[in-house]
Amino acid sequence: MPNYINNIKANQVQGSIYSSKRDNLLIVKVKNKTYHTGLKDTPNNRKLAEQIKIKMFLELHGLSETAIKHENTIKDVFSQYIENHCINLDETTIRGYNLAFKRIIKTDCKIDKEIIENKVIEFIKTEKKLSPASINIYLRAFQIFLNYLKDKEYLPAMKIFKHYKINHSEKEIKIYSDDEISKLLEYFKMKDIEFMILLQLQLFTGMRIGECLKLERKNIKEDRIILENKTVKTAEFVIITPELRDLLLSLPNRKKLFRWSENSYSRLTRRFHDAFKELNINRDNRSFHELRKTYLRKLFDNETPVQVAQKLMRHKNITVTIQNYTKLTDAEMIKYASAVQKIDKK
């Protein structure tokens, strides 16, 4: 909320907050007006309900929001943001939001534009070990929280990411060669067939490692894999060949497709990296995500239209498909330039 003056303290606002016996959801009552919040009775939701009570109090008395002194700190509101606004997001995304907040807001403070901006500047100056790309990732995640503060009228709009992102040279897009893929698949065929199938699933569908580890056997259909997404009503899907489907169904008959949980990511990564050492392959900072990029490169190598590639990769914005995953070599530039010249002559 905007800067407040000390006319009325938040704890002096009359009204009550209680939970319904039937479903344990919080209800706010001010005078004769009752509001069903739809929030579960938790400590953080109690704080959010307190803000609802204040707003109802102001409306009933015809007062401006500047009549109330807001008591919540930025950590209070961030907890509410994670608990309520991010409830349907996956664990990896929430972990990223938490990490960005802890890196930038090292000590709690009141919700003030100047204070927050100074903390962002301090973060950029002091985080010497982080790469420019990593700093931008943290700033982008923190900007989403700032947008939430603006929407909830805690703060005016703040364009932190736009003003403070670090410009850096374009990152080279790294993929796996056919020879490297063959060696890795053959290696895990001898060591762990299930791990080999995990790699093939990523190579032949472009699925993210986290998506693979969440899969259940029921998600495997005749010609596609259904990806259940809590944030959207319509489930996403990826196309699979009959051969890949048979390979996936050859795994042990259990509820989850793969035996590893999402929390196994670090252990799986170490195992993957160990294979590079044993095979004497230069890893070059590549890991599971480069399997997804390799899949996209295969699509382009087979002259898949970029709009189709976007759908297959499940990118919301075609810019992501083009800028973040494709970088043409000089030979490819010559090839496509020649194709354009042929079109121009027709």
Q: What is the per-residue pLDDT for 186?
A: 97
Q: What is the per-residue pLDDT for 174?
A: 86
Q: What is the per-residue pLDDT for 118?
A: 94
SS3 content of the chain, % helix, strand, coil (to 5): 55, 10, 35
Q: What is the per-residue pLDDT for 2?
A: 38
One-letter amino acid identity for 58?
Answer: L
Q: What is the per-residue pLDDT for 332?
A: 53
Q: Which residue has the tokens 């027709």?
A: 346
Residue in 104, 100, 97, 133 with CA at minimum distance from that of residue 118: 104
Name residues of the chain where pLDDT drops below 70: 1-12, 64-71, 168-171, 229-234, 323-346
Q: What is the secondary structure of 90-155 as a DSSP string?
A: -HHHHHHHHHHHHHH--S--BS-HHHHHHHHHHHHHH-TTS-HHHHHHHHHHHHHHHHHHHHTTSS
pTM for this structure?
Answer: 0.55
Q: What is the per-residue pLDDT for 11?
A: 57
CB atoms within 10 A of CB 208: 18
Burial class (CB in 10 A: 0-12, 13-18, 19+), 95: exposed
- Vertex 213: Cα angle to 183 and 309 (nearest 5): 70
